[in-house]
Structure 1
Amino acid sequence: MKFAVVASILLTAASINLGEAKIFGKCEFANTIRGLGFPEGEISTWVCIANYESHYDTNALNTQTGDHGIFQISQIYWCSTSGSPGGGCNARCSDFHDDDISNDATCVRIIFNEHQQISGNGFNAWTTYTAYCTGDTSSWLNGC
């Protein structure tokens, strides 16, 4: 009986978390980050990065690297896995797993700006950029 109650609670908690997460469509994601103030010239590159990082899934978690959310923000440097905000973005990593990506976007701009100062290219913070998203990424907005 206890197992059934615990299992029921866990399933309910899991479904609540899944209800808050979202998998964006490519064009929906592009329009969302455009609305969040991302520069127009960067939109297609961010669409490419989010595709390879998370497949536009706000609940994405890389358990090997500790990267979170649609942009795969690192818990090593940028957010905290404890109950309190922390890291370079002064955020909880769990906050990057819901359908509101405005806080993700704020953190991504911090990461981008820091890497812009370090390397001259803020996109270098994402390994998928170098592997898949350099050069002309305009085709990522086809159909949008």
Structure 2
Amino acid sequence: MRYLVLIWLALSLIHNTRAHARTFTRCQLSRELLRYNFPRTLIPNWVCLIEHASGRTTEKVTNHNNSYTSFGLFQINNKEWCKKGRKGGHCSMKCEDLLNEDLADDVRCAKRIYDRVGFKAWPASYAYCKEKSLPDLSRC
């Protein structure tokens, strides 16, 4: 019986952790970006970047050769923009706060990054999107 309770607790914790993450469809993402006042003309660029960087999911964490880690939908890194476990970086935020479905803080940081260095802050995704056709969002 004790074993079953432990399994139930473990599964509950896993479920509760994942319940706070979200994966967007392309159209949902487009609408969210518009809701947060991203320029309409740049929405296809942002959607491409996010698709390439995080697969449109808020829970994505990417370790880069043990030198830094990128977090969340926008894959914001702890090298410059956020800090693990405490507020910090140029966005004055905890990286872990980028992993939930509340996009307000993610958007603030992504816009700050874009204002400072543009899409070049996401070099792999920027290069990928520059070479590809941007997503067609006309049906959204």
Shared fold, TM over 0.5: yes
> Structure 1 pair 10/109, CA: closer, same or farther in 2 (3 Å)?
same
Assess if the C-alpha contact under 8 Å between 2:48 and 2:134 holds in 1.
Answer: no
- Aligned AA (2:128): Y
Counterpart in the other structure of 2:84: 81
Equivalences, count: 137
Per-residue CA shift, 1:87-123, capped at 9, x if unaligned? 11011111111111111010001111111xxxxxx01
What is the aligned partner in structure 2 of residue 44 from structure 1?
44
Q: Point out where structure 1 has 5 or more consecutive residues left out of the alignment.
A: 116-121
Rounded to whole Å, the distance in 1 between the matches of 2:4 and 2:79 is: 37
Select the residue among 86, 101, 124 that pairs with 1:128.
124
Aligned CA distance change for structure 1 residues 85 and 8 (closer, same or farther; 3 Å): farther
Q: What is residue 118 of structure 1 aligned with on the other side?
A: none
Residue in 2 aligned with 1:70? 73
Distance 1:86 1:35 in 2: 27
Aligned mates of 2:136, 2:53 — CA distance in 1: 14
SS at match of 1:63: strand
- Aligned sequence identity (%): 28
Provide the rounded CA distance (Å) in 2 between the counterparts of 1:79 and 1:6. Answer: 35
Structure 2, unaligned stretches of length 5 or more? none
CA shift, 1:131, in A, is: 2.2
1:6 is displaced (CA, Å) by: 5.8
Q: How high is the TM-score relative to the length of structure 2?
A: 0.86
RMSD of the TM alignment (CA)? 2.2
SS of alignment partner, residue 110 of structure 1: helix
Q: Rate the CA distance shift 1:5–1:66 in 2: closer, same or farther, 3 A.
A: farther
Q: Please give the residue correspondences for 1:1-144 in structure 2 after superposition, counting only pairs within 5 Å.
A: 8-64=8-64, 65-82=68-85, 84-115=86-117, 122-134=118-130, 137-144=133-140
Query: What is the CA–CA distance in structure 2 between the aligned matches of 1:63 and 1:56, rounded to whole Å?
Result: 17
- Tell me which amino acid in the other structure corresponds to 1:68: F
Alpha-carbon spacing, 1:136–1:61, altered in 2? closer, same or farther (3 Å): closer
